[in-house]
Amino acid sequence: MTEIKRVGVLGCGLMGSGIAQVAATAGYDTVVRDVSKEIWDRARAGIEKSLAKLVEKGKLPAANREAALKRLSFTTATTDLKACDIVIEAVTEDLALKNALFQELDGLSGPATIFASNTSSLTIAAMAAATKRGDRFVGLHFFNPVPLMPLVEVVRTVTTSAETFRRAFAFARSLGKEPVAAKDNSGFIVNLLLVPYLLDAIRAVEHGVASVPDIDKAMQLGCGYPMGPLTLLDFVGLDTTYKIAEIMFAEYREQRYAPPPLLKRMVIAGLNGRKSGKGFYDYSADPPTLVDLGI
């Protein structure tokens, strides 16, 4: 089977740019597609900053940073990914958008090319079925911040061939990640357990169980988590979490996945967390200050 040499990444938001960074750092020629130069410029600046940090901390030799940056290219044309051996999709959680991109590439990509989605909660089967390569379709779910988090969930859906799954698993390992095998159920392993916890933390705020900083402090110091749940929500993005919760609620019809009203209100107000400057905390100050949500 063809060796993976060239990697395509669809979308260079928080996750796509992290995936592109680790692919280029691992030695793959990496082509990233997104809709505008402004978005690439932001992604490239983020990647440069992250690589510089890794060099500064002695986690990456300086020469590897330069080599990684040289292996990265950006485009607006999906067709520029046609020579890639694996294409990883990391656009917003919108099935129609994801399927349109996969369908555009399907007829152009080589027969051995694997299509992978970094979806957090959508069904891999629904994307695989939109293409003619259901046997060469997997989920590759990375975690934020991608350059630092070691886990990748490798998701096998009902049509994925054993050979594709094996290649995708080996590819995740070649990125320096620790892969785990997951079935194609909404949320896979991590979000199945993490999302209800994060939503419960918002419910705890709604019910006045404790203040936002105290809920965070309690879970950090009481359970040894690196971040409290409300800080983590700001980090992942409230809009992203809202979308994931909606998808998981539609799939399981279980109350624990239902987005709480406070989450919805905050997303409507644009309080999406770090990426918008404000969520539960205001990031214009260092250290961040608490946002007054009037509750």
Q: Catalytic site residues?
A: 120, 141, 153, 191
CA–CA gap between residue 213 and residue 281 (Å, rounded): 9
Residues 6+ apart with CB under 8 A from 8: 30, 31, 32, 33, 81, 84, 86, 87, 88, 105
What x/- string results for residues 184 through 223 when contact with ligand 3HC is judged by CB under 6 A?
A: -------x--x-----------------------------
Neighbours of 288 (CB within 10 A): 17
Rule CB under 6 A: is residue 53 a binding residue for ligand 3HC? yes
Rule CB under 6 A: is residue 17 a binding residue for ligand 3HC? no
- Considering only 55, 97, 227, 291, the residue that binds ligand 3HC (CB under 6 A) is 227
Question: Which residue in this structure is represented by tokens 């600046």?
Answer: 45
Closest CA to 204 of 279, 248, 262, 257: 262
Sole window of 37-45, 77-85, 140-148, 281-289 interacting with ligand 3HC (rule: CB under 6 A):
140-148
Token pair for residue 103? 């369908």
Sole window of 124-132, 145-153, 157-165, 260-268 interacting with ligand 3HC (rule: CB under 6 A):
145-153
Rule CB under 6 A: is residue 139 a binding residue for ligand 3HC? no
- Considering only 111, 208, 224, 226, the residue that binds ligand 3HC (CB under 6 A) is 226
Residues 6+ apart with CB under 8 A from 244: 93, 120, 121, 187, 191, 195
Residue ranges in contact with ligand 3HC by CB under 6 A: 50, 53-54, 120, 143-145, 147-149, 191, 194, 226-227, 232, 236
